[in-house]
Structure formats: C-alpha cells, structure tokens
Amino acid sequence: MLHTKIKGLARLFRFELPFAAGVCVLLGELLAMGRLPSLFHVFTGFFSIFCLSATALILNDYFDIETDRINSPDRPLPSGMVTKSEVIILSIIVALAGFFFSMLISITALTVACVVWLIGFLYNWKFKKTGIWGNLLVCISVGMTFIYGGITVGYPFDKMVWYFAVLALFIDLGEEIAADSLDIEGDKKSGSSSLAVLLGPVKSMRIAAGIFCLVVIISTIPFFTGWLKPVFLLPIISMDVNIILSTLNLLKKNQPNRITDIKRIYLGGLGAMILFLVLRIVPGS
C-alpha cells in the first residue's frame, strides 16, 4: 500500500520535464557568466526551478482529473493511487521548497519564482484550453528559466541571456502551435480553443512557420549589432538551417511523421546552444 502511494506521488512529478527546466536555468547561468558557476548557484538555481516546474505538473493532474478518467485512467489520481488532498499537500510542499531555494539566492529570484509559480497555476486553472493564451503562458515560462539563470548569478540583464530567452520563447511558441495543428482531433475532444481548431490546421501551421521564420531573423541580430564575434555564427547558422528545413517539411500536408520535425527543431536548438556555450567558455572565443 505504502509502496503504491509513493509510486503514485512520484509519477506526478514527470521528472524529465522539471529536470529540463532546471537545465535551462544552468544554461542561463553559463550564458551570463561565460564560465562555470559556483556549486551554490548550480544547486539553488536548478532545484528552485525544478520544484516550481514540478508543482505545475502536479497541479496539472489535479485540474485534469476528469479528463484523465477518460483518456488516461492509469494516472495516479483516477487510478486511486493517490487522493486529491494528497496531491494538494504535495504541491504545497514542493512549491515551498522551490521558494526556499530561490530565497537563498536573492529577493529578486524569489519574486521571479513567485511569478513562475503563478503562471503555472493560472495555466492549469484557467488557460490550458484557451489556445493561444495558454501557449503564450507556456512559452513565457520557458523563456523565464534562462532569465532566472542570469538572476541566480547576479546578471539579470545580460544580453546573451535575454537573447536566448527570446529565442527559446518563440521556438517553444512555434512548437506549441505546430503540435496543436497536428493534433486537432485531440484538441476538439478536450474542448481546447487552439488556433488549429479556430482557424484550421493549415492556417495554424502557417502561423507556426511564420514564428519559426521570426526566430531565424532574431537569431541574426547580435551579428549586425556587434554583440557576437563571427565565430558564433557556426551554432546559429546550423540552428537556422535546421529550422528552415524542418519548417518546410511541416508545411507539407502529406509529409509523414511531421511530429519528428517539431522534435528536430527543439533538439537542433538545444544542440546549437550547447555548441554556443562551449565556444563562449573557451578562452579567446
């Protein structure tokens, strides 16, 4: 019985997603400093956002219980592995842990952490099925993880942090809209007012393509303004080429497995960022 309860509570975390959010914070720290941060900043930055991201996912199960009874009856709540009160208590404990770690960093970090928590709560409570508004909340929270990384190490307004935060925001927004375009039947069943439902999958995919094109344009700005040396063109150009090719595939209605093109954009962006960081950390770059 106890083993089942613990297993159910653990499944609420969906660990890979909070882990990814924590990694984005570490990337923000590295971008801001241009070198490895201290263990204190690594620990507090990672776990504060890890906990707050996990809180949003835990609450997602609470608010989605009726939908999960039909679509995912094996989830912890509809399957009876945990109770609604246990989910609420767990979300409070995990959120408080996130606030505690952020408080160790600074008051600014705590303030931003509260905003991140509020975005997650509002998304689960009211905005998940509102289409573009829900998409915007998700992508804003993604961009904020990089900015939070800069705040953690004392560089909240570092240009490179904001540059990648904006890129991540628009890449995620494009991915959200593109994914909705490929799952219009699922959106209709769930009652979502996604752009794909309102405008049709073809038009919404074109909007996603437009956003990806905007990412390519934004990515070149630092080279025209002199923020970045030419050596950093390598990761940026590789990311842009990948985005353009994947976007062209997404626009082909009869192209099979278009979901892989969305994943390719995400992985390409991540790979470009890692290469960018390596070049930024290497002396003389």
User: pLDDT tens digit string along 59-81?
Assistant: 888 887 777 677 677 788 887 78
Following DSSP, what letter does each residue of 83-108 receive, concatenated?
Answer: -HHHHHHHHHHHHHHHHHHHHHH-HH
Give the separation between CA 86 and CA 83, rounded to whole angstroms. Answer: 5
DSSP label of 130: S
pLDDT in tens, 92-105: 999 999 999 999 99
In this prediction, residue 285 carries a pLDDT of 58
Q: Which of 152, 75, 78 is nearest to 109 (CA)?
A: 152
pLDDT at 51 over 90: yes
Other CB atoms within 10 A of residue 107 CB: 9
Asked if residue 192 has pLDDT above 80, the reply is no
Whole-structure pTM value: 0.88
In one-letter notation, the amino acid at residue 51 is: C
Q: Count other Cβ atoms within 10 Å, centred on residue 35.
A: 11
Structure confidence at residue 283 (pLDDT): 67
Tokens of 97: 């842990």
The predicted pLDDT at position 284 comes to 57
Separation of alpha carbons 143 and 163, rounded Å: 10
DSSP state of 26: H
Query: Whose CA is closest to 131, among 169, 174, 180?
Result: 180
DSSP string, 132-148: HHHHHHHHHHHHHHHHH
User: Rounded to the nearest 10 degrees, how much is the dihedral formed by the CA atoms of 178, 218, 272, 277?
Assistant: -140
- Any idea what DSSP says for residue 77? T
Q: pLDDT tens-digit profile of 217-268?
A: 999 998 888 888 888 889 999 999 999 999 999 998 777 778 888 889 988 8
In the chain, the domains with their CATH numbers are: 1-134 (1.10.357), 158-285 (1.20.120.1780)
One-letter amino acid at 58 equals I
CB-based contacts of 222: which residues, under 8 Å, 6+ apart?
159, 163, 228, 232
Tokens of 11: 């499944």
Q: Mean pLDDT throughout 3-16?
A: 78
| Residue 145 pLDDT grade (very low, low, confident, very high; cuts 50, 70, 90) | very high
> What whole-number distance in Å separates Cα of residue 59 and Cα of residue 51?
12
* Placement of tokens 């720290």 in the chain: 29
DSSP string over 176-222: HHHHHHHTHHHHHHHT---HHHHH-HHHHHHHHHHHHHHHHHHHHHH
Task: State yes or no: pLDDT of 3 exceeds 80.
Answer: no
Are 201 and 182 spatial neighbours (Cβ–Cβ below 8 Å)? yes
Residue with tokens 């996603």: 208
Question: Does 8 score more than 80 pLDDT?
Answer: no
